[in-house]
Amino acid sequence: QGFFWREPEERKHEPTKSHRDLPENIADVPDSMTEEYILCAAWDEDNEDARKHNCTKVFRIMPQELAFYRHFGIPLPRKCWNSRHWERLKDRLPLNFFKRACGCAGEASGRGIYRNAAAHFHGSEPCPNEFQTAYAPEREEIVYCEACYNAEVV
């Protein structure tokens, strides 16, 4: 299709401030912070691993971004945008689906972790429903079918 691949270039900016030197409280951040090049914590911890997710090594705080953080009382980030985005994506469920049986065993969940608050269509017998879910069978979460879930939540 004519697409070209190239290795990302390392930024030429040298950090003027380390992520370790950032104030914990947003109220202590001066307006001059928008002029600083901040060393990303991901790069500082392991630059080989950081390269795998295109860490920018240094990042800046934009004036509008600083105003947003101040308005909502959010501390400054310690990592560049790419590193923060990478961490969010790591926690997402994989794009695999598994055939699972409903985790409702009648009056409680199958492992007895949760006690049902409402009567279900299957009474005190285990739920017969099977379905596809992104939650793997070896995970700890209790997975109910839609009918059992709605009986508990709605």
CA distance 154 to 146: 11
pLDDT digits (tens, 9 = 90+) for 114-126: 889 999 999 999 9
pLDDT of residue 9 exceeding 80: no
Mean pLDDT of the chain: 90
How do the domains of the chain map onto residue ranges? 17-90, 93-154
Q: C-alpha angle 72/73/76, rounded to 5°?
A: 110
Contact 61/33 with Cβ under 8 angstroms? Answer: yes
pTM here is 0.59
DSSP 8-state assignment for residue 57: S
